[in-house]
Amino acid sequence: MASHNHKMHEGESLRSAARDRLIADGQQWTDMRSAVFDALASFDRPASAYDIAEAVSKSQDRRVAANSVYRILDLFVGANLARRVESANAYVANQHPDCLHDCIFLICDTCGQTVHIDDDSVSGGIRDAAAKTGFSATRPVIEVRGTCGDCDDD
């Protein structure tokens, strides 16, 4: 399995890495963007924009619209701070925002847990297959649905 090594961030380290990545992209790390990122990173499963808006609203004691959160999440995906789980219309914080790569999501249909793995041979194979047809695959989305080890044991 081809993979690459990178530092996985969590907690304050993740927040700092995300902030640094966004600033390196020429964007500002505003209070609202910080709040959205903190809320996103607090979820242990993919979170929808509505989940995040609710979490931010509670933490700030004021209503935050999901539309505002969607715009920030789009920015985060573009800056590699978050990944969108297409089949769930939800997002996860990227634990290594300083490393750009394709992700493969493993999604448990029983508990909803989503794990991402890096395997450049799989995404590279998809890019190669697409190229043979004259298609340029700029962002392969690979999501595998099934049952995680915890639920499979039940």
Span 21-37, pLDDT tens digits: 999 999 999 999 999 99
| Residue range 4-27, pLDDT digits in tens | 555 666 668 789 989 999 999 999
* Same domain membership, residue 74 and residue 115: no
pLDDT (0 to 100) of residue 8? 63
Tell me which amino acid residue 116 is.
H
| Domain assignment present for 2 | no
Q: Which domain holds residue 126?
A: 104-152
Does the predicted model carry a pTM greater than 0.95?
A: no
- DSSP annotation of 88: G
| Domain assignment present for 99 | no
* Same domain membership, residue 111 and residue 57: no
The share of the chain scoring above pLDDT 70, in percent, equals 92
* Same domain membership, residue 85 and residue 108: no
Residue keyed to tokens 């600033």: 23
Instruction: Find the angle CA(60)-CA(63)-CA(66) to the nearest 5 degrees.
Output: 110
* Same domain membership, residue 138 and residue 68: no
Half-sphere exposure for 18 (CA within 13 Å, toward CB): 30
| Domain assignment present for 5 | no
